[in-house]
Amino acid sequence: MALPANHGSGRLAPANKRARLGLFTGYLLAGLGALTGAALLIVSLLRPEAFAGLRSMASDLVAPAGEIGAAGRVGTRNVLEAIAGYYRAGSRNAELEREVRIARVKLAEARALERENARLRAVLKLAEGETRPVAAARLIGSTSTSARRFAYISAGRRDGVRPGMPVSSPLGLVGRVLEVGERASRVLLLTDSESMVPVRRATDDVVAFAEGRSDGSLRLRLINLGINPIKPGDVFVTSGAGGLFRPGVAVALAVEITRDGAIAQLLSNPAATDVVLVEPVWQPEAIAVIEAPRLAEAEADQAPGEEAPAPAPAPTPAVAPLPPAQD
């Protein structure tokens, strides 16, 4: 197999002078290609947003095909469900079970909301309006080969989506928008190792950060260290700190207790989600932070290490804990 054909590369250097020159040029070009790659890589590692425009353009081009694929995924599943329902009434059971699961999460969310409301009313006497979603979109793909966890959704600038907006499904938070194209956007999933969401226990005020572990689960890190109060089965919801995510959206379920928190299962498994809602950024101050990433970076440069998990004083509802969007 793999007979080296008479093509000039491989084997010994050809006797012909021109062929030898061609071979040399080939190596030169390949080496230059590798160097170009290394240079671009360094640029994009230092400035993750550098090539966002190029990527968004590419996503826009491929999005229609992806959307058809996603519709196919939903369609085939519906067909299969119909067949399953025809053969056994058990499929109805499955549906009810799903509803119960949603209801359970909703209940936890509602309880959290109730608390939140009570507290807000008590403290501020603030009447909070319902947040209205910006757009509904399909999850059309994810970076399933890379170590990073991004997803693509079928809504973009045309639909009013902007970077930083939270993305959620009926079961809970999915992630946040990172780059926006004309009709498709890239979402940083919660399970990405660069994603960090401030959360609190649904039943009380145990605050923590939920970090992605890039294997499908989250790592909860308590902010107030001490005796670990988390028990397996605790539901965690967004706390609203940082101003990006509206408080009270379900995030994760603790399954395994660790020294400084817990390992948690994501509540809204993106694999089981078809349609997601893009919501506006909760607090406008957060928008300001997103729109001035240079400023944040400059600050981070001044105080390296300060910007990361940093055990920020929990009760102050300050804007900051979220690191600038990475990719």
Partner 1 sequence: MEPINLRAHEDAFGRRINRGHSPALVYGVPWLSIMIGSLVPWLPVIAPAPVLPPLGFMLLIAWRFVRPGLLPLWAGLPLGLFDDLFSGQPLGSGILLFSLALLAIEGLEMRFPWRTFLLDWVAAALLLLLYLAAAALLSGAALTLVQLVVIVPQLLLSITAFPIIARMVGMLDRLRLMRLRRLG
Q: What is the residue whose two structure tokens read 């994603």?
A: 195
Spatial distance between the Cα atoms of 158 and 265, rounded to a whole number of angstroms: 34
Q: Applying CB under 8 A, does 14 fall inside the site for partner 1?
A: no
By CB under 8 A, the residues from 247 to 276 that bind partner 1 are 266, 269-271, 273
Q: Applying CB under 8 A, does 20 fall inside the site for partner 1?
A: no
* Options 89, 123, 125, 215; binder of partner 1; rule CB under 8 A: 215
Contact status, residue 223 vs residue 314, Cβ threshold 8 Å: yes
CB of 327 to partner 1, least distance (A): 7
Q: Applying CB under 8 A, does 62 fall inside the site for partner 1?
A: yes
CB of 256 to partner 1, least distance (A): 13
By CB under 8 A, the residues from 273 to 312 that bind partner 1 are 273
Spatial distance between the Cα atoms of 182 and 190, rounded to a whole number of angstroms: 23
Of how many residues is the chain composed?
Answer: 327
Beta bridge partners of 201: 236
User: Please, where are the H alpha helices in the chain?
Assistant: 17-46, 52-87, 90-124, 284-291, 293-302
Contact status, residue 248 vs residue 231, Cβ threshold 8 Å: no
Spatial distance between the Cα atoms of 135 and 158, rounded to a whole number of angstroms: 10
Spatial distance between the Cα atoms of 321 and 228, rounded to a whole number of angstroms: 21
Q: Applying CB under 8 A, does 210 fall inside the site for partner 1?
A: no
Spatial distance between the Cα atoms of 129 and 86, rounded to a whole number of angstroms: 44
Q: Applying CB under 8 A, does 31 fall inside the site for partner 1?
A: yes
Q: Which is nearer to partner 1, 29 or 79 (CB)?
A: 29
CB of 285 to partner 1, least distance (A): 27
Q: Which is nearer to partner 1, 122 or 147 (CB)?
A: 147
117: amino acid identity, one letter: N
Q: Applying CB under 8 A, does 96 fall inside the site for partner 1?
A: no
Q: Applying CB under 8 A, does 85 fall inside the site for partner 1?
A: no
Q: Which is nearer to partner 1, 73 or 111 (CB)?
A: 73
Q: Applying CB under 8 A, does 117 fall inside the site for partner 1?
A: no
Q: Which is nearer to partner 1, 215 or 301 (CB)?
A: 215
